[in-house]
Structure 1
Amino acid sequence: MVKWVEIEYSIYDQDNRLLEKTNEPVIMPLGYNILNKEIEERLINAEYGKEYSFLLKRPFGERDPSLIKIIPISEFYKRNINPIPNLVVNVDNMVGIIRSVNSGRVIVDFNHPYAGKDLLYVIKLNREVTDLKEKILGILSITYNISKNNIDVNIDENNKKISINVKDLNLSKEQKEIIKNFIPEIKEYNIE
């Protein structure tokens, strides 16, 4: 079962340090395990307007030393990347964080940033979302980290067309298909 909701959340580590926090309410589907399967299952029938806390034991698994790689600096220069510590990079479709650069070698950590940590999620469940435009704005915002203010969505129900304009981004055919996969009720629409 999928249910669309508006939430606000904060994530803390085991030392009660704030790791992540929403700046504005987020619209997302529950049922696709975007947050965490256990959290989404508990929220699916929870009351709106309330705040919930979830303590999860290492939800992103343990840190894996085999996911820390040494890559020649020349590989970054070939891709026009100036490697510096803490830079998030995509290498062969794996996202990692550069930990250090020295002697022509770059150490990249491909572990999830929260791997090896117990996490406390504090989530305020604001409301259920049924509006199609809000769902599209929500999935674009969380999937591509785009502010909802930079997205314009127009829905023509008569002609089954949806036009989406995103500031500084042209949506690819694949990105449009991803939107349809998350929002089944627009499968028959043409997304422009």
Structure 2
Amino acid sequence: MTFNKGSLILLDYTAKIKDTGEVFETTIEEEAKKNSLHDHNEKYQPRLVSIGEGWLVKGFDEALQNTSVGDKKTIEVSAAKGFGERDPGKVRMIPLRKLGEDAEKVSIGDTIEVDNKKGTVRFIGSGRVQMDYNHRFAGKIILYDVNILKELKSDEEKIPGILKRHLPVKDEEISFNKNGKIIDITIPKEIFRAEGLHLMKHFIQSDIFKFTTIEKINFIETHENKKTKPKEKISTDTKKELETAKKT
């Protein structure tokens, strides 16, 4: 049975450029290591995807609507429905001096930010730099090797999946308690000061209200008062030694 729009599924996939075979994204740790992509900060685990909601590039998303749990296949995505066709108008020459102190550090192929836009350095010479503001994979056909693992149907399945998607912590540190239509979500202390925590809460709330029957969410943060340690008592002998030392 194929999926409906809004279905929540778990899948593993590896994405690569068709004409070069370059792997640039994967949910599988072994694949990441094999292709020199491994990142210790990345959570390698099946990806949660909502079908037809634009969580993936258009061509990949559309193709998943015609898959079923247990399918293992390679999906080909055209440039138009992937990262877009190349636009010559997004390739520009700028003065090298515009890079300021970083001018001597920049090399061809580097991705840098100029005028609040990220681009790739294509050429350096004669005091100028050619910047390509197209997406790195613009104009490329993408292949996705995909394994459809599971469809999440109950609230008890969906809630952990949503929390894993949005909280940048180990799975064992994610804690929640569901009581009817109310859920208490414990925020791990290691992300109390994390940048964008309010956005994490916003997206968790948005997804839980959209995909489950939950009507109320309580985010719980537990803060402890770390009292200063009591001063250690100085023994009588130590006091005498200190007094003697002062006199000498």
Normalising by structure 2, we get a TM-score of: 0.57
The Cα shift of 1:122 comes to 1.9
User: Retained in 2: the 8 A contact 1:73–1:83?
Assistant: no
Q: Does 1:126 align with 2:149?
A: yes
SS in structure 1 at match of 2:174: strand
Q: CA deviation at 1:135?
A: 1.8
Partner of 1:154: 175
Specify the code of the residue in structure 2 equivalent to 1:163. I
CA deviations on 1:137-182 (whole Å, 9 max, x unpaired) are: 2245xxxxx6x64994333546644415459943243454244444
- Match among 70, 73, 77 for residue 49 of structure 1: 70
1:6 and 1:126 in contact (8 A); partners too: yes
Any stretches of 5+ residues in structure 1 without a counterpart?
141-145
Greater shift, 168-177 or 112-121, is seen at: 168-177
Aligned to 2:202, what secondary structure does the other structure show?
A: helix
* Structure 2 partner of 1:13: 17
Q: Give the letter aligned to residue 13 of structure 1.
A: I
Q: Specify which of 61, 64, 74 is matched with residue 40 of structure 1.
A: 61
State yes or no: 1:163 paired with 2:190. Answer: no
SS in 2 for 1:189: strand
Given the alignment, which residue of 113, 134, 137 partners 2:136? 113
Task: Write the deviation string for residues 82-120 of structure 1: whole angstroms up to 9, x where unpaired.
Answer: 544333334455432233444554333221122112222
The alignment yields a C-alpha RMSD, in angstroms, of 3.8
Mapping for residues 21-40 of structure 1, pairs under 5 Å: 21-22=25-26, 23=28, 24-30=44-50, 31-40=52-61
Unaligned runs of 5+ in 2: 29-43, 222-248
1:63 to 71, 78, 86: 86
Q: Which has the higher helix share?
A: 2
Taking a change above 3 Å as real, the CA distance of residues 150 and 106 of structure 1, as seen in their structure-2 partners, is farther
Structure (1/2) with the larger strand percentage: 1
2:78 partner amino acid: K
Which amino acid in structure 2 is aligned with residue 112 of structure 1? H
Contact 1:27 1:135 in 2 (8 A): no
What is the DSSP-based 3-state SS (H/G/I as helix, E as strand, rest coil) of the residue aligned with 2:140?
A: coil
How far apart are residue 125 of structure 1 and its match? 0.8
Distance 1:168 1:84, change over 3 A: farther
Residue 87 (structure 1) aligned to one of 99, 106, 110:
110
Q: 1:168 to 1:70 in 2, by over 3 A?
A: farther
- From 133, 137, 141, the equivalent of 2:164 is 137
- Rounded to whole Å, the distance in 2 between the matches of 1:150 and 1:84 is 39
Larger C-alpha radius of gyration, 1 or 2?
2
Greater alpha carbon shift after TM alignment, 50-59 vs 170-179: 170-179
Shift of 1:43: 2.3
2:72 and 2:88 map into 1 onto residues whose CA distance is: 36
In the comparison of the two structures, how many residue pairs are matched?
186
**TM-score of the two chains, using structure 1 as the length reference:** 0.70
